């Protein structure tokens, strides 16, 4: 029986492999034996004779080339290479697009295997191959694995190597407790690897993939529980919070917290007064009052002698937090300061000296907080706003500024309820699902180009009545590659042609920070009636008097981003409007615009967005710290992910911690870390 150490040895030490194939494997990040075993097929083709083909089948056929030619299409830019092969039972035509050099490879009489979807029309078979191999071994019936490839390694090369090393699967440790494995009746792990690579039957393949997906998800969920369990005994940052302190903290707010805010505050107090470090994700729609909750928690920590840091992704948002906290804490002894990357060195050094001495109670900033020159005396609480905009290392760097401080991660981009407990398995999740009183729904309209003039007249009437408007564009300058309106160009159009009687300003990400902030401040003060901008106004711009949002080429924006932009209006007493201008040309774009018009609830928006975009794109796996799965899929295997989370909770005490750590290191490498905030 193979041993575990053999799984981590380099492939070239475990078996003979040609140099050019080894280089190709390295480009696929396949260096160890276990890496190759975890390189699962992307598809399975049915090996059969041409006479036995069925339309729509993913098939693999082997025969001799009888003809090959290049043809030009009506679109002169595209060329077709047509190859006909015959296996003695029939013929099939393979079609390749824009690969004219293949004519030299597919010589008449050459034996070749083609794999891909087949079609039948006009009494003949055709195929658009996804892979091909020359001079393959004799074909047998059954399923053929089709692997992800790169130049230099053919499907035959990888299949042969896997076949040579597949016996090592017997050494792969099973992360499941024995009782759970027996209860679930999953295929044993070694057999599952064999059937996944060399399936004997479609049903065996399905059982193998199910067994491997479950184990992959289980080891991740079990690892998260182990981390939480190890931190549960940590009492270093347990603070004292009594009723008097709670009431004193609430006096800073000139309003009564909503029921949802009070519930979340209670959850945070429970975290801060219990063993372990707080790792909490606070979700809430735009304007739901997340900042007030974060400040409440910060005041409790400050009263217990700790410093707090608030990190925001943009200077605009950091300045807004600084202004809001200044409004709440003005005239008090709580020292709130702002650190930005563009500060003069002397000013920055003086501020950092105060932070290091403990004189600053709350430090607000952008990525500048992560610099080495920022040192805290006693950092105990970190707030990370719009946390999905920061990478895992950035969030970890902020934590390293203190003795593993409590973390409150905030997001105004709601995560679907069906995923929040699995995507952020290492976090407790709190939701503010109630808006402060007085907030009225934003009237949202999709305006076709034929009705654009009428919409502009409605906007003109609102502006004359004292309203203010954002005009948001997807580009900064004109681009030949994308047909979208440019903020720079259309700021001039708004100023000179459409609304010459109103004051128009411009803000976009390529401006100097001070210029951009100056434009936003002028709009906030009322010195501008219209702010033409890119998505820099998506977060952090709070102008209650602004009641109109116009989004040009709205079909180019994601659904959650449209909802975020809509949150910039509807903050004052006036009725607010969102006008979506554009001409969507795909069903998906039409669905997005229809959804944003009919749905106001951010969590429902998130659910729809998930269905439209898929999990991987929605979650942003690089930013969230999620590993690249070997066989599981975050899009299609949500049910399995949730099932393993539940099972990891039930079987938590019987999970072998050392075994789980070994499995995680084996499958994801030494650098793999469990999900972090």
DSSP-derived letter for residue 494 is I
CA nearest to 374, candidates 395, 390, 355? 355
Give the 3-state secondary structure of residue 6.
Answer: helix
pLDDT at residue 615 in the model: 53
pLDDT at residue 589 in the model: 86
pLDDT at residue 642 in the model: 77
pLDDT at residue 576 in the model: 93
Block means of pLDDT (10 residues each) for the chain, 677 residues, are 82 93 93 95 86 86 92 74 92 90 90 89 88 76 83 88 94 91 92 94 92 91 75 76 92 89 94 88 83 94 96 85 88 92 91 96 94 95 84 82 90 63 64 77 89 93 94 70 67 91 89 82 92 77 88 86 86 90 86 90 75 54 60 76 82 83 83 44
Q: Are the beta carbons of 542 and 327 closer than 8 angstroms?
A: no
pLDDT at residue 350 in the model: 95
Q: How far apart are CA 65 and CA 631, in angstroms?
A: 35
On the 0-12 / 13-18 / 19+ scale of CB atoms within 10 A, 209 is buried
Kindly state the helix (H) or strand (E) to which residue 82 belongs, with its residue range: strand 79-86
Strands (E), 450-599: 468-472, 504-507, 530-533, 546-551, 577-581
pLDDT at residue 259 in the model: 92
Cβ contacts of residue 57 below 8 Å, gap of 6+?
46, 117, 118
* pTM exceeds 0.75 for this model: no
């Amino acid at each position: 029986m193979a041993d575990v150490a053999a799984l981590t040895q380099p492939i070239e030490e475990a078996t003979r492999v040609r140099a050019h194939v080894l280089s190709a494997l390295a480009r696929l990040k396949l260096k160890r034996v276990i890496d190759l075993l975890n390189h699962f097929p992307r598809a399975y083709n049915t090996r059969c004779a041409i006479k036995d083909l069925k339309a729509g089948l993913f098939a693999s056929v082997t025969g001799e080339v009888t003809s090959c030619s290049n043809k030009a299409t009506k679109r002169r830019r595209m060329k077709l290479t047509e190859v006909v092969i015959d296996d003695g039972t029939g013929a099939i035509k393979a079609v390749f697009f824009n690969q004219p050099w293949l004519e030299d490879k597919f010589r008449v009489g050459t034996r070749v295997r083609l794999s891909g979807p087949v079609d039948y029309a006009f009494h003949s078979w055709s195929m658009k191959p996804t892979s091909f191999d020359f001079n393959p071994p004799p074909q047998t019936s059954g399923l053929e694995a089709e692997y992800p490839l790169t130049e230099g390694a053919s499907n035959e090369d990888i299949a042969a190597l896997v076949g040579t090393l597949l016996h090592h699967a017997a050494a792969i440790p099973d992360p499941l407790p024995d009782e759970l494995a027996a209860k679930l009746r999953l295929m044993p792990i070694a057999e599952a690897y064999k059937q996944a690579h060399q399936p004997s039957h479609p049903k065996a393949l399905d059982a193998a993939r199910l067994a491997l997906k479950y184990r992959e998800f289980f080891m991740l969920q079990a690892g998260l529980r182990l981390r939480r369990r190890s931190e549960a005994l940590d009492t270093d940052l347990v603070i004292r919070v009594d009723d008097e302190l709670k009431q004193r903290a609430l006096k800073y707010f000139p309003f009564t917290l909503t029921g949802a805010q009070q519930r979340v505050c209670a959850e945070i107090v429970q975290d801060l007064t219990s063993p372990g470090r707080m790792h909490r994700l606070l979700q809430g729609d735009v304007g739901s009052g997340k900042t007030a909750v974060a400040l409440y928690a910060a005041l409790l920590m400050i009263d217990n002698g700790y410093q707090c840091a608030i990190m925001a992704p943009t200077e605009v948002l950091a300045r807004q937090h600084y202004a809001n906290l200044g409004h709440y804490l003005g005239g008090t002894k709580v020292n709130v300061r702002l650190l930005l990357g563009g500060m003069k060195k002397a000013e920055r050094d003086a501020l950092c000296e105060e932070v290091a001495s403990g004189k600053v109670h709350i430090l607000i900033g952008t990525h500048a907080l992560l610099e080495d020159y920022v040192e805290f005396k006693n950092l105990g609480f970190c707030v990370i706003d719009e946390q999905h905009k920061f990478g895992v290392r950035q969030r970890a760097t902020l934590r390293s500024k203190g003795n593993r401080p409590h973390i409150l991660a905030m997001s105004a981009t709601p995560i679907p309820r069906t995923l929040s407990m699995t995507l952020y398995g290492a976090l407790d999740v709190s939701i503010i699902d109630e808006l402060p009183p007085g907030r009225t729904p934003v009237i949202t309209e999709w305006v076709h180009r034929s009705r654009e003039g009428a919409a502009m007249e409605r906007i003109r009437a609102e502006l004359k009545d004292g309203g203010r408007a954002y005009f948001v564009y997807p580009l900064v300058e004109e681009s030949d590659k994308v047909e979208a309106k440019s903020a720079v160009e259309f700021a001039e159009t708004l100023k000179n042609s459409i609304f010459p009687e109103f004051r128009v300003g411009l803000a976009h990400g390529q401006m100097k920070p001070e210029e951009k902030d100056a434009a936003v401040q002028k709009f906030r003060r009322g010195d501008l009636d219209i702010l033409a901008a890119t998505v820099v106004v998506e977060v952090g711009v709070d102008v209650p008097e602004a009641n109109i949002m116009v989004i040009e080429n709205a079909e180019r924006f994601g659904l959650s981003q449209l909802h975020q932009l809509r949150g910039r209006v509807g903050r004052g007493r006036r009725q607010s409007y969102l006008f979506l201008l554009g001409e969507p040309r795909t069903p998906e774009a039409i669905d997005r615009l229809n959804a944003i018009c009919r749905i106001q609830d951010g969590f429902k928006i998130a659910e729809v967005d998930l269905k439209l975009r898929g999990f991987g794109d929605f979650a942003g796996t690089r930013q969230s710290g999620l590993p690249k799965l070997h066989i599981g899929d975050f899009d299609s295997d949500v049910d399995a992910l949730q099932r393993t989370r539940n099972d990891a909770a039930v079987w938590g005490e019987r999970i072998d911690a050392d075994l789980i750590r070994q499995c995680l290191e084996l499958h994801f490498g030494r650098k793999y870390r469990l999900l972090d905030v």
